[in-house]
């Protein structure tokens, strides 16, 4: 599953499928022994719970790596990682140039010395997790005010995390589960030196592009390789030339045996966010008010980026990662809305809620929960009109990419304004800003940004009633010109002409002689500042009230729901903490007379192939030759090479790059996507339609070995038959 852009906290709601089935659930590894071991064995798992999660001995958890927004797995004694191509896409793009176009050509390091630095990339491995609910909620009861509750929880979690971090040795965080009804501590060892080792050309790693995204059948070689580096004591360290490859506690063996339909499949990773405890009013808010705006605004930005990317190779490289990430989210929101309507999810949720309310009002229930859902509906009704204003302000009003430099320059401005000035502090702030600006402008194009701003402001003026526009935007609409297009164009041209943030030359000139006056008069700063002030005065109060109301209601509702369905085993929503999901290799039938097989082969690559190098379905000539000759080596099965396969595992964004393992804990594939028919999966789990799309590890090894000649990397792994 690819990373989804969760634009604001307003989109983060929760929901539950009241009738959990065995394949459903993203389970905490520490609870597998108590909750899942028996059922996993029935599915075919041969591993013990201790082989999966153990804090005293090496276990599978020690080979599962968080890359913040994605997952990776350790597959060699030298800290080699598999993840998805789209997870490493930014790293590939940042290391690319017109002269060294790793996006189009691929990249393969033949030695440790050739591996490329990835600034800012971290790799975190879970050390342990612990239930700290009693400690966090100590002294809190139903009579505790919302403000006191928040402070007491904040103080407790801060103290617990600080103690567990052991003076910076570990990264420790306390996460709430079940909408604040339970709390768990997660302790990680975080490595800060991660390097790019290998990646296929995007004609393989991104084969099918936006057209095939979220679709099945799939033929995408969505993989790449990274490596963790540590100091000479095998401990985390900042990037340094003399760091050495990390020696892991556990390495996942790579299986060449393959699989058949019905075989056990297990995935471990760091799913980002599910919303399985959402109420029907919350679902309606998402479907009718949030998603349509994001679909519209993201779509226009993507269209504008693409036009500029197609016209200039340099711009295409600069904006490839940004475009891919937003395109993924845009298509996700479209699919989610279509699925909610097609599957009649909201109607089903209302029936479940009616049963809950009837129970709460009965003699067997609890009056505490009787009005929770009606209160939630009232809160949503009072907030609906504000959602579009908030989204347009942030996505359209603040669409200028160059505004990112405001924060970078603010520290310089503040130091320059001091009387007397601290020369050393000013020099440090300037150097930091110069470094950050170099990174920013490497992937920035002024004309592209200008085009986006014009389109976004035009949509802002057209779609939000004039009476509700911020003064800064209303002023543009009232400017000189025969049409809104003319007014916006003149205003935007002037904005970009006069701002110090819209070109590297102007920004560096200001850094050479910074002053607060020119900074505070800069039109990009003024626009963003006025929009922030409008938000603070007009929108934020309603948003904060809504969030405070619904946070309390969601917590109490789920508390009641767990009492109402006391015969069910509940699992917590995904929240970027390590989870395990298990199920089987499985095909599906999404519609009448449509039956999808559970795997694809290289035959499908040839069937989709286009000769045009700009096509999403372009295939390198060498790959075509290998496929036609069936030169698959040891990676074939009965004369064919499988490319991708399906499981019914329960995953979401953040699981991208997660290992797909067989009954022995051996790697058979890498999870990289979900299927279009189950785009409601973050809200409800549909056992008939929900599938995980995985790239077959044998196709991965074939590309590395036979196509790229990266046999040195294949030889690092422990291959099993």
List residues bridging with 66 in a β-sheet. Answer: 71, 124
Catalytic pick among 176, 656, 682, 696 = 656
Catalytic pick among 222, 445, 673, 696 = 222
Q: How far apart are CA 407 and CA 227, in angstroms?
A: 32
Q: How far apart are CA 430 and CA 432, in angstroms?
A: 5
Confirm if 427 and 435 have CB atoms less than 8 A apart: no
Q: How far apart are CA 347 and CA 341, in angstroms?
A: 10
Residue 280, CA atoms < 13 Å, CB-side half-sphere: 16
Region of residue 167 (phi > 0: left; psi between -120 and 50: alpha; otherwise: beta):
left
DSSP 355-422: HHHHHHHSTTS-GGGTTHHHHHHHHHHTTHHHHHHHHHIIIIIT--GGGHHHHHHHHHHHHHH-SS--
Tokens of 145: 């005010």
Catalytic pick among 43, 86, 219, 250 = 86
Residues in the chain, how many? 721
Q: How far apart are CA 390 and CA 543, in angstroms?
A: 9
Tokens of 337: 């809305």
Which helix H or strand E contains 427, and what residues bound it? helix 423-442
Sign of the torsion formed by the C-alpha atoms of 483, 485, 491 and 494: negative
- Check if 86 is active-site: yes
- Check if 85 is active-site: no
- Check if 658 is active-site: no
Q: How far apart are CA 188 and CA 65, in angstroms?
A: 10
Tokens of 674: 């979900």
Confirm if 272 and 11 have CB atoms less than 8 A apart: no
The residues near 682 (Cβ < 8 Å, ≥ 6 apart) are: 273, 274, 275, 276, 336, 652, 653
Confirm if 290 and 10 have CB atoms less than 8 A apart: yes
- Active-site positions? 86, 222, 656
């Amino acid at each position: 599953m690819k990373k989804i852009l969760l634009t604001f906290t307003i989109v983060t709601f929760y929901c539950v499928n009241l009738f959990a089935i065995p394949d459903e659930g993203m389970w905490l590894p520490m609870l597998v022994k108590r909750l899942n071991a028996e059922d996993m064995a029935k599915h075919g798992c041969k591993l013990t719970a201790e082989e999966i999660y153990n804090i005293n001995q090496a276990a599978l958890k020690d080979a599962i790596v968080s890359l913040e927004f994605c997952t990776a797995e350790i597959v060699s004694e030298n800290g080699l990682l598999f993840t998805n191509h789209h997870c490493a896409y930014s790293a590939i793009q940042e290391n690319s140039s017109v002269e060294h176009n790793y996006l189009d050509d691929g990249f393969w390091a033949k030695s440790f010395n050739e591996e490329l630095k990835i600034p800012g990339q971290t790799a975190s491995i879970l050390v342990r997790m612990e239930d700290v609910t009693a400690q966090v909620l100590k002294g809190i009861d139903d009579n505790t005010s919302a403000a006191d509750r928040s402070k007491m929880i904040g103080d407790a979690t801060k103290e617990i995390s600080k103690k567990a971090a052991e003076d910076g040795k570990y990264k420790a965080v306390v996460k709430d589960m079940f909408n604040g009804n339970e709390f768990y501590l997660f302790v990680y060892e975080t490595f800060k030196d991660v390097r790019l080792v290998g990646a296929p050309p995007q004609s393989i790693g991104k084969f099918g592009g936006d057209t095939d995204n979220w679709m099945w059948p799939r033929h995408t070689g969505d993989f790449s390789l990274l490596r963790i580096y540590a100091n000479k004591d095998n401990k985390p360290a900042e990037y340094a030339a003399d760091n050495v490859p990390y020696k892991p506690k556990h390495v996942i063996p790579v299986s060449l045996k393959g699989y058949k339909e019905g075989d056990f499949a297990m995935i471990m990773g760091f799913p980002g966010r599910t919303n399985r405890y959402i109420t029907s009013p919350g679902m309606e808010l998402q479907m009718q008010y949030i998603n349509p705006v994001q679909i519209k605004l993201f779509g226009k930005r993507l269209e504008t980026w693409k036009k500029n990317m197609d016209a200039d190779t340099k711009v295409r490289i600069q904006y490839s990662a940004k475009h891919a990430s937003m395109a993924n989210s845009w298509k996700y929101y479209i699919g989610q809305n279509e699925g909610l309507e097609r599957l009649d999810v909201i109607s089903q949720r209302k029936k479940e809620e009616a049963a809950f309310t009837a129970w709460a009002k009965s003699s067997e229930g609890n009056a505490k929960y009787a009005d929770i859902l009606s209160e939630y509906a009232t809160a949503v009704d009072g907030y609906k009109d504000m959602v579009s204003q908030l989204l347009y302000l942030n996505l359209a009003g603040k669409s200028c990419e160059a505004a990112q430099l405001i924060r970078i320059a603010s520290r310089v401005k503040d130091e320059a304004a001091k009387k007397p000035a601290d020369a050393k502090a000013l020099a440090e702030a300037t150097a930091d800003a110069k470094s950050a600006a170099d990174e920013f402008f490497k992937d920035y194009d002024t004309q592209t940004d200008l085009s986006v701003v014009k389109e976004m402001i035009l949509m802002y003026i057209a779609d939000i009633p004039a009476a509700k526009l911020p003064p800064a935007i209303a002023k543009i609409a009232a400017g000189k010109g025969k049409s809104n297009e003319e007014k916006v164009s003149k205003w935007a041209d002037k904005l970009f002409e006069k701002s110090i943030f819209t070109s590297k030359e102007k920004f560096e000139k200001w850094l050479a002689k910074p002053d607060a006056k020119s900074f505070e008069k800069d039109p990009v700063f003024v626009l963003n500042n006025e929009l922030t002030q409008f938000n603070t005065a007009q929108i934020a109060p309603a948003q904060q009230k809504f969030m405070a109301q619904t946070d309390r209601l969601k917590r109490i509702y789920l508390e009641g729901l767990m009492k109402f369905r006391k015969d069910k085993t509940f699992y917590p929503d995904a929240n970027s903490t390590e989870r395990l999901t298990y199920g089987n290799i499985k095909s599906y039938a999404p519609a009448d007379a449509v039956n999808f097989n559970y795997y694809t082969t290289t035959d499908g690559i040839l069937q989709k192939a286009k000769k045009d190098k700009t096509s999403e379905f372009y295939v390198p000539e060498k790959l075509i030759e290998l496929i036609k000759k069936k030169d698959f080596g040891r990676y074939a099965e009965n004369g064919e090479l499988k490319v991708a396969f399906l499981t019914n595992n329960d995953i979401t964004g953040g699981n991208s790059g997660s290992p797909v393992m067989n009954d022995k804990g051996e790697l058979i594939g890498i999870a990289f996507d979900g299927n279009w028919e189950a785009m409601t999966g973050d809200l409800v789990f549909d056992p008939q339609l929900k599938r995980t799309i995985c790239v077959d590890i044998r196709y991965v090894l074939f590309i590395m070995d036979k196509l790229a000649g990266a046999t040195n990397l294949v030889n690092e792994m422990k291959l099993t038959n």
